[in-house]
Amino acid sequence: MAGIIVVPEIYPVSGDPASALTVGFWVGLDGYTNGQVLQAGFAATITGTSVNYWAWTEWYPLGAVAVTNFALEAGDAITVVVSAPQSDQGSVYLSNERTGQATRIGITPPAGVTSIGASAEWIVEGISADLPDFFECTFCDIIAETPHHAFDLTPDGIITNIGGANGPLTEAIIAAPSAEIVLWEGNA
């Protein structure tokens, strides 16, 4: 499965500027209907006015692992390809259109876990208790496929928004069979 994620600009929220806030943007294989997901993408952590963008991989329920040799910044178009060439072997490919940089990472699953390919996900996820504000995040050229079939977001794509105490914090829109836009609604 694959997608291009355009890195959104992250900006501070009102309140305590010293507390770190993190939001993740990723693609994943499995996870919707089971307790494991092979995933990769990037996150943005903001502390005060300083923003740190960083790439990561994970075969949940193991923890995320930072990809230290992959630079990115707001506005970059990041291609993320997540695959399980064998049910007990994961692979991630990341490339940055602006820099031309690319990396491939092999991932070993948690003990007793294998990929079953039950679902494909393109996600914006709150990592910290509160979220930093961000401009819209676009996922494009989305595709998930098996050796015999390709899937896109229509007609069966499911949208789930990040909820807050006073309502949704995001609004996800399926813009086309291969494009999703996630809009920040704010800390309403």
Residue 30, H or E segment: none
Query: What is the largest distance, in Å, between two alpha-carbon atoms of the chain?
Result: 51
Q: Is residue 8 part of a domain?
A: yes
Q: Is residue 163 part of a domain?
A: no
Q: Which of 22, 115, 5, 9 is nearest to 64 (CA)?
A: 22
Residue 188 confidence class, pLDDT cut points 50, 70, 90: very low
Which residues form the domain of 25? 2-148
The whole-model pTM stands at 0.88
User: How far, in Å, CA of 156 to CA of 63, rounded?
Assistant: 30
- pLDDT of amino acid 83: 92
pLDDT above 70 for 187: no
User: How far, in Å, CA of 142 to CA of 177, rounded?
Assistant: 8
Token pair 């695959």: residue: 83
Q: Is residue 160 part of a domain?
A: no
Residue 14 confidence class, pLDDT cut points 50, 70, 90: low
Q: What is the CA radius of gyration of the chain?
A: 16
What residues does 109 pair with on adjacent strands? Answer: none
Q: Give the 3-state secondary structure of residue 130.
A: coil
pLDDT above 80 for 26: yes
- pLDDT of amino acid 43: 95
Q: Is residue 183 part of a domain?
A: no
Cα distances from 184 to residues 113, 124, 132, 169, in angstroms, run 34, 10, 10, 6
Residue 7, H or E segment: none
- pLDDT of amino acid 126: 83
Q: Which of 41, 40, 55, 36 is nearest to 107 (CA)?
A: 40
Domain count, the chain: 1
103: domain CATH number is 2.60.120.700
Residue 106 confidence class, pLDDT cut points 50, 70, 90: very high
Q: Is residue 106 part of a domain?
A: yes
Residue 27 confidence class, pLDDT cut points 50, 70, 90: very high
Convert the pLDDT of each residue in 135-186 to its tens digit: 888 999 888 876 666 767 776 677 777 776 666 778 888 888 888 888 877 6
* DSSP structure class, residue 171: E
Taken as a whole, the chain contains a residue count of 188
Q: Is residue 73 part of a domain?
A: yes
Q: Which residue has the higher pLDDT, 41 or 117?
A: 41
Q: Is residue 15 part of a domain?
A: yes
User: How far, in Å, CA of 20 to CA of 50, rounded?
Assistant: 10
Residue 134 confidence class, pLDDT cut points 50, 70, 90: confident
- pLDDT of amino acid 186: 65
Q: Is residue 74 part of a domain?
A: yes
Q: Taking residues 112-129, what's their average pLDDT?
A: 85
| DSSP conformation letters of 52-117 | EEEEEEEEETSPPEEETT----TT-EEEEEEEEEETTEEEEEEEETTT--EEEEEEPPPTT-----
